[in-house]
């Protein structure tokens, strides 16, 4: 099973290297941007995360692809949806390996800019409010993959 996981990691890394190009805007790696798409425009953002936990008879590896789409509703308001696709390998001492795959909790977020002051050519100060909801995974939990 680890060989499949290793191949998946290599494919993801290769896709990131080959698919990466010059960015049109800068955005923080793990937080939402302070900017908004224009009214009626949509931005799409994809992030890959690899996590691993080992110890005490546990060996859990997880690949997560977060896909976010943000729609500009007006100059100061946006609506975003984030859909995480997860593949997880769970090896525990004395038990069978459990592989799971599927869509995890979907997140909906509304962002409203309340205040902004521009500082010339070097930036701005902004205040925004967020409201959101986590929707349960469509199938309840991630789906266990059949043994190979």
pLDDT tens sequence across 65-117: 999 999 999 999 999 999 999 998 887 766 667 788 888 889 999 999 999 89
Query: In the structure, what pLDDT confidence band is assigned to residue 20 with cuts at 50, 70 and 90?
Result: very low
Higher-confidence position of 20 and 36: 36
Give whichever of 5-14, 18-27, 49-58, 94-103 has the largest mean pLDDT: 49-58
pLDDT tens sequence across 126-136: 888 999 999 88
Higher-confidence position of 127 and 11: 127
Encoded tokens for 119? 């500082």
Locate the DSSP E strands across the chain. 42-55, 58-74, 77-92, 98-103, 106-118, 124-135, 143-144
Average pLDDT over residues 5-31: 55
Round to whole Å and give the CA distance between 87 and 45: 19
Q: Which of 136, 20, 129, 141 is nearest to 78 (CA)?
A: 129
């Amino acid at each position: 099973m680890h060989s499949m996981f290793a191949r998946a990691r290599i494919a993801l890394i290769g896709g990131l290297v080959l698919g990466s190009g010059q960015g049109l805007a800068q955005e923080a790696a793990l937080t939402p941007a302070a900017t908004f798409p224009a009214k009626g425009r949509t931005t799409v953002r994809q992030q890959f995360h690899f996590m691993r936990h080992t110890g005490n008879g546990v060996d859990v590896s997880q690949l997560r692809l977060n896909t976010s789409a943000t729609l500009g509703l007006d100059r100061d308001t946006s609506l975003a949806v984030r859909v995480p696709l997860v593949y997880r390998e769970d090896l525990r001492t004395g038990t069978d390996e459990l592989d799971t795959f599927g869509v995890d909790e979907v997140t909906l977020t509304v962002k409203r800019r309340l205040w902004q002051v521009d500082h010339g050519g070097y930036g701005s100060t902004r205040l925004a409010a967020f409201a959101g909801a986590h929707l349960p995974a469509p199938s309840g939990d991630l789906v266990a993959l059949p043994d190979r």
